[in-house]
Structure 1
Amino acid sequence: MSKAKGPQDLPPKGGYVPFQIERIKLRSFATGKMGIGIFIAVNVIGMPLYMQNWRSERKRIIEAKSRELAAFPILFAENDRALLKQLKRVREVEADVMKDFPYWEVGTFFGEPIYEDVPVDTYIKPTLGELYVFSDPTNKPVLEYIHLFP
């Protein structure tokens, strides 16, 4: 057997300190009555401030909705106006492109109406492909390709 080198570890003189197994009571920061008092004080001060903020926020929301409702008819009218201008341009280009065909009527397919089951004066909203049929593909609006964006 080999002999241990150096002194062997032993407990300190007088032994180890005894383990503490008694319960240590927590210091209480606030009593129950103090907690209830703080709760009531916060609610008494906070509720009027909350109601004031709620009223001002409600007024802001109503004002924003009013602005939106006032602006929508103008925006829709401008959109319809631009759409009709584009439709007029498309019809003019179609008339120019098809002027050499004697039996071609603008707005029909060789004299046959495109929609047979609707009255003549009924408006049918055109698709983006119909609106930009004679234009360069790079000039088409981004909205046509919006479904491709993540």
Structure 2
Amino acid sequence: MTTKAEFKQDMPPPGGYKNIPYKRVPAKSFFGGWAIIGGYLGMTAGASYLYYLNCKAVKIRQLEMHSASLAIYPMLLAERDRAYLNQLRKNRDEETKLMANVEGWKTGTWYGEPIYHTVPKNTLIEPNYQEFYVHSSYNDFKYRAHLALLS
């Protein structure tokens, strides 16, 4: 059996608990409406000036790069065409070397008969991808043929 000395009931503090605050407490106002509008206009003006300075520098850089690309473009085209013609020559030389032991074979024809009858002589007939990459690895051909799908 328990005695009164062993059991102590939890009671409110003397004088009772404090009141629960439930009334609205407005936030402290640091700036008024006109100060906020003035700050907004000042920040916008400063940002616009910095944007103008940055755009001016970027425009100059873009203009220089555009001029440089226009200046170098013809040389790049000439180098591309030169590499293309070199590869066509390599393909022709490889065909000549490969078919050297075949009797009656003349390079650029089908056993001595021209492939194209209506094309004037000394006219470049551009090969398709398979013909252009015929003596290279399949991976090189596959990479070039599907290059548009990679980007």
TM-score tier, shorter chain, comes to 0.7 to 0.9
Cα distance in structure 2, aligned partners of 1:141 and 1:73: 26
State the TM-score, normalizing by the size of structure 2: 0.74
Is it true that 1:101 corresponds to 2:102 in the alignment?
yes
1:123 aligns to what?
125
- Equivalent residue number for residue 91 of structure 1: 92
Is the alpha carbon distance of 1:134 and 1:42 closer, same or farther for their aligned partners in structure 2, counting shifts above 3 Å? closer
Q: What is the TM-score of this pair, normalised by structure 1? A: 0.75
What displacement does 1:6 show?
3.5
Q: State the distance in 1 between where 2:127 and 2:58 align.
A: 39
- Alignment RMSD (CA, Å): 3.5
**SS of residue matched to 2:24:** coil
Cα distance per residue 1:112-136 (max 9 Å; x no partner) = 41x56x7342432442x4334335x
CA–CA distance in 2 between the matches of 1:8 and 1:103?
A: 119
Q: Shift in Å at residue 71 of structure 1?
A: 2.3
Residues 60 and 74 of structure 1: CA distance in aligned 2, closer, same or farther (over 3 Å):
same
Matching residue of 2:69: 68
1:123 is aligned with what amino acid? I
Shift of 1:104: 1.7
1:40-79 paired onto structure 2 within 5 Å: 40-79=41-80
Question: What do the CA deviations read for 1:8-41 (whole angstroms, capped 9, x no partner)?
Answer: 2222221111011221121112111111111222
Residue equivalent to 2:38: 37
What is the alpha-carbon distance in structure 1 between the residues aligned to residue 84 and residue 114 of structure 2? 24
**Structure 2 residues not aligned, in runs of 5+:** none
The amino acid that maps onto 1:7 is: K
SS of residue paired to 2:22: coil
Aligned AA (2:119): P
Identity across the alignment (%)? 30
C-alpha contact (below 8 Å) 2:108/2:114 kept by paired residues: no
CA shift in 2, pair 1:69/1:125, >3 Å: farther
Q: 1:125 to 1:112 in 2, by over 3 A?
A: closer
1:138 positional shift: 8.5
Determine which structure has greater relative contact order: mean sequence separation of CA pairs < 8 Å that are 6+ residues apart, divided by chain length. 1
- Answer yes or no: is the 8 Å Cα contact 2:92–2:108 preserved in 1: yes
Which residue identity lines up with residue 7 of structure 2 in the other structure? Answer: G
